[in-house]
Amino acid sequence: MSQSPITVTYSLEEILKQINYKLDKIDEKFETKLDTSQKETQTKLDNFQRETQTKLDTFQKEIKTEFDTFQKETQTKLDKIDEKFETKLDTFQKETKAEFDKSNERLSNLEKSQTKVETRLDSIEIDVKELKGSSKAQIWTLIGILITAVGGFLVAVGRFVISGNP
């Protein structure tokens, strides 16, 4: 039992055709896989870009909303502070004006009083001058009266003594 070897003959051209065919198939598979991979990658990249853009838009809206809220709250607080300041300033101005008016009134009253005092002082000064003048006259009048009285007394005593009636 011996078998005889089988001889298969292929031509070089056939072998090269088969190799070429297999290489074409491998290249085709590679191109298909590469195209599929590129499409998947592009799809994933597009999805990632959309998701990122959506997240960025949402984040931007949230930040804008928070900023607007912060700005409104800050403006409200500033308005309240401004209102309080204006109220206090108005009150201060009214109080200051009232005190100034009161001081002006006091000053006016003092000026009137000073005028009255000056008038009275001038009057007193005139009266003192008149008193000085009249007191001198009164003193001289009194001296004259005293001299006359003493003279009259002396004359009366002299007559009495001369008349001899003791």
Q: Where are the domains of the chain?
A: 13-126
Report the alpha-carbon angle 143-146-147, nearest 5.
Answer: 85
Distance in angstroms (rounded) separating the CA atoms of residues 45 and 34? 16
- Give per-residue pLDDT as tens, 55-101: 999 999 999 999 999 999 999 999 999 999 999 999 999 999 999 99
> What is each CA distance from 111 to 46, 124, 154, in whole angstroms?
93, 19, 62
Map tokens 């009366």 to a residue: 156
Map tokens 């308005």 to a residue: 79
Distance in angstroms (rounded) separating the CA atoms of residues 27 and 30? 5
- Give this prediction's pTM: 0.42
Mean pLDDT of 106-128: 86
Write out the H or E segment, with its range, that includes residue 71: helix 12-163
Distance in angstroms (rounded) separating the CA atoms of residues 161 and 56? 148
pLDDT given at position 132: 74
Average pLDDT, the chain: 88
Q: How confident is the model at residue 125 (pLDDT cuts 50, 70, 90)?
A: confident
